[in-house]
Structure 1
Amino acid sequence: MMKYIFGLLIILGLAAAGWLYNLYDEIKHDIDVVVNYTPKQSTQFFDRNGKVIANTFKDENREYVKYDDIPARIIEGLVAIEDTQFFEHHGINPDAISRAIIKDIKAGGFVEGASTLTQQLIKMLILTREKKLLRKVKEALLAIRLETVLTKEEILERYLNHVYFGHGYYGIKTAAKGYFNKDLYELSLKEMAILVGLPRAPSFYDPTRNLKISLARANQVITRLNTLGWINKEQYESSMKETPVIYNQSLTKNLAPYAVDYAISLLSNDIPDILYGGYKVYLTIDLDAQEIAQNSLKDAYEEALKRDLDFRKRENKPNDDSYVKELNGALVSMENNSGKILALCGGIDYNQSMFNRAFQSKRQAGSSIKPFLYQVALDNGYNPASQLIDISRTYNYTVGGVEKKWQPKNYGGKFEGIVSLKESLTDSRNLSTLNLVTDVGIDTVIKGLNNYGFKDIPNNLSITLGSMSVSLIDYSEAYSMFSNAGTQVKPYIIEQIVNQSGNTVTFGPQTKEIDKPEQIYLMTTILNNVVNNGTGKNAQVPGIEIAGKTGTTNDNIDGWFCGYSPSIQTIIWFGNDNNTPMRRTETGGRIAGPAFSNFYKKYMEIHPEIPRTFVMPSNVYTSNINGRDELYTDMSPLPDVEFQAEPQNSGQEVLDF
């Protein structure tokens, strides 16, 4: 009888062995997922000073860490509490399995597991968590197989990077920064114990929710380390008493969302996994400057709302919530000589509107376009002292067989008769600008605007009033010909990208020579006068020279200030998102000028070293005319006729075009 039983056992054993072999042969390649481990990793964005701006990810917020950068105490704590014989077994622990089987039989079901760290890794990456015998057999077979392919250190590296630590943190490096605001090497023993105790039940042991329970779990880890003799009595006692500071935060908090969104828009086509591919993206922005810029925009916005409210109170008019909802602004500030963007704000409040007006919106330029028109004139022989005619003209034209008239006016309705080119631009006079463009020739002016990089330019005199639409990014590039002494620089926000392998792509300035420095300096002196004595007075900044131009479109739909110091250029826009008019008094100088001024005042407090004065090129000359120093160059000689401008309030010319 025993012979038959023994034979039956042999047959059953061989059948079981065959079944196990077939099962192993079927699943053995499943470990490729673990061997070739490529987890989703958070992409990190940094500012120019190395400060973290944002973490972006898809599903799992994870920052990867190599085994050699994981403190030994973390490894010891994990092994002590989860798998003491980890470095001795070959994937499974027979003693633990035996103990678990006995307890399960007594309980009549699965009540205790015996999974090693290797098995836990298999379960996380390959198998389900359901408690079935087949799954446990597969887990054991794969664990044994995995330990023939990977070293113990490689298994631990994958485990500690993949496991969930609660609170949205995947991987131990992310958890350390999230719970303690520390890198791994800065953690205390108690903090390490809290972390290694979390994977068993991350939500239950989450210290932001259940601190007492989390500390109790950590004390179990410390006690186990002491029992094993892996820490001494002093370490044990001091760690048991410690209660670390816990931070309840989201590491995904974006400190400069408009800037990060712009960077992502530039990268997403070429790097589809930019959000979760574990990249390190170093931006040109300065977080301090970004905060100042955002606050400056918001302050100007709130002042505009206050003016509107005061106006309605005076006029006994009801409040208009639509004005509050529609009014918005944007700002782009960059280094003159490099194009590195210091600050980019695409709106007043990202939480209220994610639409990025810095690059997604195009608005009419208004009078802020005039410096480009006047630069064409300067390069065609005009001089800041040249005389311009500031009188009204009526333009007759035909559209679809219907005759129409256009009668442009100066802001305020008055005209001066004769003004200098410098005075005309200083006061942003429309009529003298129209006459200047007419005299220079509209074809010549359009050719110049094309050279400056403008596109879709209307082939008529409406260009003198800034009828073309531009984005702040494109306008920043165009204006850099003034701030950078004749050489345009392309604004850029991405300094460097580093992938998981450490490969680096670096970006740098892109430049285009447009004009001569001496010609641009003539314009800079005029634009400096705009700020000191003209429409840009609200943009003045004590202690530093500023050059710039205001811009207000028809019916006050758009308000601009485009200006620069000797080292930094800033373009600011305000308007209603639905293209309705702002209040009549909200000109570019009134609403955008103060935002510009405040930005520079605050920026100079943290960067007092920035240059304060514009430097005159050697081939710019000075001559005294009628008691005034006038500048000139070889290309822009002084006018032959000296004049005294006399205000005139009559006179009109009719032109057909």
Structure 2
Amino acid sequence: MEIVTNQRFRKAGKYFRAFIIIGLIGFGLAVLIGAGVLLYAKILGPPPLTVPQSTLFYSNDGTVIGESHNGQKRYWVELDQISPDLIDATIAIEDRKFYSHHGFDYKRIVGALIADIKAMAKVQGASTISQQYARNLFLAHEKTWKRKLLEAFYTIRLEMNYSKEEILEGYLNTIYYGHGAYGAEAASQYFFGKHAGELTLSEAAMLAGIPKGASIYSPFKSMENAKRRQKLILHTMTTSKIIDKKEAADAYNEELTYNGKHLHTRTKSAPYFQDAVRHILKTELNIDDRVIELGGLRVYTTIDLKQQEVAEKTVERYISEESDIQVGLVAMNPKNGHVMAMVGGKNYEESPFNRAVQAVRQPGSTMKPLLYYAALEKGFTPSTVMRSEQTTFHFEENRPDYTPKNFNSQYANGEITMAQALALSDNIFAVKTHLFLGEDTLVNTAKKFGITSKMTNVPSLALGTSGVRVIEMANAYSILANGGKKVTPTMVTRVENYQGDVIYEQKNETIPILKPELAYVMTQMMTGMFDPKLNGYTSVTGSTVANQMTRTYAGKSGTTDTDSWMVGYSPQLVSAVWTGYDKGKTITLSADKAYAKNIWVRFMEDTLKGTPAKSFLAPKGTIGVYVNPENGKLATENCPVKRFTYFVAGTEPTEYCTEHLLHDEKVPDKTERAPKKPWYKKLFDWS
């Protein structure tokens, strides 16, 4: 009997020793595996914290004009921009030991397991804030062992590489509050119409209860469930000694006002402009499509909401929805190239094709100021004369003849000045100038003025037969308006990533590319289209809108069989307008041809209303004299019409007009050609 007992003890001892050894080996393996996991997590380093969120587009005054809609409705805010009550309420209900554990609350896990076993079902969760953040960032929400293990691994990586504050900030910016709102800021705006940092204790307790189940605890789904959940959170905050019972009672009884609208719904403000900005982000700034749509960028643009509203209303005023006529409009600040307003068509919903930046159309006579600027460089002046008469141009090398025509086949049948030719839009004068300068000259000048569309080297180029974009013409005229400094159409001034880091910032460079005195003489010539003193064999081309003008403008209209243009400027604003049919249909009605001018003058007047009426400042090297606009000679007192005209100093006319002198009258002295101002007026003349 004793032998049997000893054998049993020895056998039990073997089992016990084996159990201890296996246990030690298992423990050693667990330690090794744990150490390996920790080492691997450390080697991998911090996991990226980027999450899909809306990209926002801002106007030049900081107003949000739109956002991307392919991402989640989320606006990242820093922890100190979130109400402390919301932070406390969230920690109290989700993870009271958040600041003391290292990612896992083991006591809570054991308690949840026991509860689940008793109920024979999943009835209690034990995920910490760190675990939930890991799941929100990297994993789907399916309930599998693989997902649980990955969640634990990502939790370890988060805790090893980020501070508690960083984890909490990320969590509060990623949790789902229902109704399409991700994160505290989007939820605060949706439920209460305020920033996350402005929430009261009552609002914070209500909001903190929703992530448990947005379809159950949202006040828009069930006010009863929402209030019950709010009460539980306030009680939890009381037992945690975050607030006292009176504060909890007051918060529970506070009557809340709900919003139910997202901060930024899809806006109709400048939709064509927004599309153009997206294109710039992709093609010029090389930002990936996914980053643009989901990266939470903050894109600061140049659009001026007041000018944009004026532009859209002006288009609606003149072009009816029933008409097939389309429109493209661009307004720019000539000093820096900032695009202030853009209309790419009558109706964005019907046609998102942007005629302001995509359509290539014949500019007609709006090309002539560029031609005449080149002529000024070659020694022409506003008083240079040529004959205006029906002309057929013959060329060598078997090139076909070319017979341009004036509007309505009207000609001076005599000499006219370049200033008058521009004001009347005489085509014969333009083609003669173009051929005299050499056909390459206008091609090269157009490039100098920032036009990138291909120019065809033909005699008709002087009449705008090579297509350009509306935005190119606005840019070209901006260079004249600012005195000859290079500008580039600019729509984006700054781009920030979701963390607020600047990833792009526009730099203003002022590079002179034109001679300022020639640019000024050209500008003064372009005011002539509105000046009846330059009427000749026909009226100046701006006569139909001149009576609507309250300030000085320089500009040029242009008309082809299929296109109607008006481009012009004041010292502080340039705008270009095109109207026509998308498929190049012939414009037959004179009323249709007048759309561009009417839209342009109304836009300029309404936009600049209430601002100082600035004049163009004459640079050094220019001189103004009174001339007879019919022949360009210095005017005398007997000339029925005199126009004050600017020239580059030294190129002004020296010959007086003698057509209106009496028989015994002498030619006046040259020094009397322009009235002199008293010295005291010169002292205060700053214009």
TM-score class normalised by the smaller sequence: 0.7 to 0.9
Q: Which residue of 2 aligns with 1:592?
A: 596
- Alignment partners' CA distance in 1, 2:360 and 2:605: 28
- Say whether 1:251 aligns with 2:271: no
Alignment check: 8 A CA contact 1:34 1:122 kept: no
Alignment check: 8 A CA contact 2:485 2:513 kept: yes
Letter in 2 for 1:253: R
Q: Which residue of 1 aligns with 2:684?
A: none
**SS at structure 1 position matched to 2:329:** strand
Q: Which residue of 2 aligns with 1:173?
A: 185
Q: 1:23 to 1:354 in 2, by over 3 A?
A: farther
Letter in 1 for 2:404: P
- Alignment partners' CA distance in 1, 2:45 and 2:345: 44
Letter in 1 for 2:390: S
User: How far off its partner does 1:186 sit?
Assistant: 1.9
Alignment check: 8 A CA contact 2:235 2:248 kept: no
- Alignment partners' CA distance in 2, 1:336 and 1:142: 53
Decide which moves more: 129-138 or 465-474. 129-138
Q: Which residue of 2 aligns with 1:311?
A: none
Of the three residues 538, 541, 544, the one matched with 1:535 is 541
Of the three residues 346, 360, 363, the one matched with 1:362 is 360
**SS at structure 2 position matched to 1:349:** coil
- Say whether 1:412 aligns with 2:408: yes
Letter in 2 for 1:633: V
User: How far off its partner does 1:420 sit?
Assistant: 3.3
- Which of the two has higher C-alpha Rg? 2
Q: What are the Cα deviations for residues 506-542 of structure 1, in whole angstroms up to 9, with x where unaligned?
A: 3233444343333333332332231354323455554
Decide which moves more: 578-587 or 78-87. 578-587
**SS at structure 2 position matched to 1:614:** coil
User: How far off its partner does 1:483 sit?
Assistant: 0.9
Alignment check: 8 A CA contact 2:41 2:156 kept: no
Which residues of 2 match residues 87-166 of structure 1 at below 5 A? 87-132=99-144, 135-136=147-148, 139=151, 143=155, 146-147=158-159, 149-166=161-178
Q: Which residue of 2 aligns with 1:578?
A: 583
Q: Which residue of 2 aligns with 1:549?
A: 556
Q: 1:42 to 1:30 in 2, by over 3 A?
A: farther
Q: Which residue of 2 aligns with 1:295?
A: 313
- Alignment partners' CA distance in 2, 1:124 and 1:381: 71
Q: Which residue of 1 aligns with 2:77?
A: 65
User: How far off its partner does 1:30 sit?
Assistant: 6.0
User: How far off its partner does 1:564 sit?
Assistant: 0.4
Q: 1:223 to 1:138 in 2, by over 3 A?
A: same
- Alignment partners' CA distance in 1, 2:432 and 2:659: 19
Decide which moves more: 35-44 or 11-20. 11-20
Of the three residues 183, 190, 197, the one matched with 2:202 is 190
User: How far off its partner does 1:467 sit?
Assistant: 0.8
Q: Which residue of 1 aligns with 2:525?
A: 526
Of the three residues 600, 608, 611, the one matched with 1:609 is 611
- CA RMSD after TM alignment: 3.6
- Alignment partners' CA distance in 1, 2:350 and 2:133: 42
Which residues of 2 match residues 257-276 of structure 1 at below 5 A? 257-269=271-283, 270-272=286-288, 273-276=291-294
User: How far off its partner does 1:493 sit?
Assistant: 1.9
Alignment check: 8 A CA contact 1:223 1:236 kept: no
- Alignment partners' CA distance in 2, 1:59 and 1:50: 22
Q: Which residue of 1 aligns with 2:674?
A: none
- Alignment partners' CA distance in 1, 2:98 and 2:352: 49
Q: What are the Cα deviations for residues 104-145 of structure 1, in whole angstroms up to 9, with x where unaligned?
A: 223322232222222222333345433345655665576467
User: How far off its partner does 1:425 sit?
Assistant: 1.7
**SS at structure 2 position matched to 1:623:** strand
Alignment check: 8 A CA contact 2:332 2:478 kept: no
Q: What are the Cα deviations for residues 8-43 of structure 1, in whole angstroms up to 9, with x where unaligned?
A: 976886687577557656755469686542334443
**SS at structure 2 position matched to 1:559:** strand
User: How far off its partner does 1:639 sit?
Assistant: 7.2
Alignment check: 8 A CA contact 2:189 2:262 kept: no
Structure 2's unaligned 5+ residue stretches are: 1-7, 533-539, 628-634, 661-687
Decide which moves more: 438-447 or 516-525. 438-447
Which residues of 2 match residues 423-462 of structure 1 at below 5 A? 423-439=420-436, 441-442=438-439, 444-446=441-443, 448-454=445-451, 456-462=454-460
Alignment check: 8 A CA contact 1:480 1:569 kept: yes
Q: 1:115 to 1:563 in 2, by over 3 A?
A: same
Letter in 1 for 2:314: S
Letter in 1 for 2:496: V
Q: Which residue of 1 aligns with 2:630?
A: none
- Alignment partners' CA distance in 2, 1:215 and 1:427: 76
Q: 1:9 to 1:235 in 2, by over 3 A?
A: same
Q: What are the Cα deviations for residues 477-505 of structure 1, in whole angstroms up to 9, with x where unaligned?
A: 22123211233322212222334363464
Higher strand share: 1
Decide which moves more: 58-67 or 557-566. 58-67
Q: 1:511 to 1:346 in 2, by over 3 A?
A: farther
Letter in 2 for 1:559: S
Alignment check: 8 A CA contact 1:332 1:572 kept: yes
Q: What are the Cα deviations for residues 61-116 of structure 1, in whole angstroms up to 9, with x where unaligned?
A: 43322333333211111012222333344433344334433332233222322222
Of the three residues 653, 658, 673, the one matched with 1:638 is 653
Q: 1:435 to 1:26 in 2, by over 3 A?
A: same
Alignment check: 8 A CA contact 2:565 2:596 kept: yes
Q: 1:298 to 1:210 in 2, by over 3 A?
A: farther
Q: What are the Cα deviations for residues 407-450 of structure 1, in whole angstroms up to 9, with x where unaligned?
A: 33222232222333333222222233334434555455555445
User: How far off its partner does 1:466 sit?
Assistant: 0.4
Of the three residues 614, 619, 624, the one matched with 1:621 is 624
- Alignment partners' CA distance in 2, 1:378 and 1:146: 69
Of the three residues 469, 472, 478, the one matched with 1:471 is 469
Alignment check: 8 A CA contact 2:41 2:153 kept: no
Letter in 1 for 2:392: T
- Alignment partners' CA distance in 1, 2:103 and 2:436: 88
- Alignment partners' CA distance in 1, 2:658 and 2:438: 24
Letter in 1 for 2:552: E
Which residues of 2 match residues 313-392 of structure 1 at below 5 A? 323=324, 327-392=325-390
Alignment check: 8 A CA contact 1:41 1:277 kept: yes
Alignment check: 8 A CA contact 1:380 1:636 kept: no
User: How far off its partner does 1:342 sit?
Assistant: 1.5
Letter in 2 for 1:572: V
Q: 1:643 to 1:450 in 2, by over 3 A?
A: farther
- Alignment partners' CA distance in 1, 2:162 and 2:520: 67
Letter in 2 for 1:259: F
**SS at structure 2 position matched to 1:469:** coil
Q: Which residue of 2 aligns with 1:317?
A: none
- Alignment partners' CA distance in 2, 1:600 and 1:257: 21
Q: 1:40 to 1:137 in 2, by over 3 A?
A: closer
User: How far off its partner does 1:368 sit?
Assistant: 0.9
**SS at structure 1 position matched to 2:409:** coil
- Alignment partners' CA distance in 1, 2:156 and 2:445: 74
Q: Larger relative contact order (C-alpha < 8 A, sep ≥ 6)?
A: 1
- Alignment partners' CA distance in 1, 2:30 and 2:150: 9
Q: 1:106 to 1:50 in 2, by over 3 A?
A: same
Alignment check: 8 A CA contact 1:550 1:560 kept: yes
Q: 1:453 to 1:149 in 2, by over 3 A?
A: closer
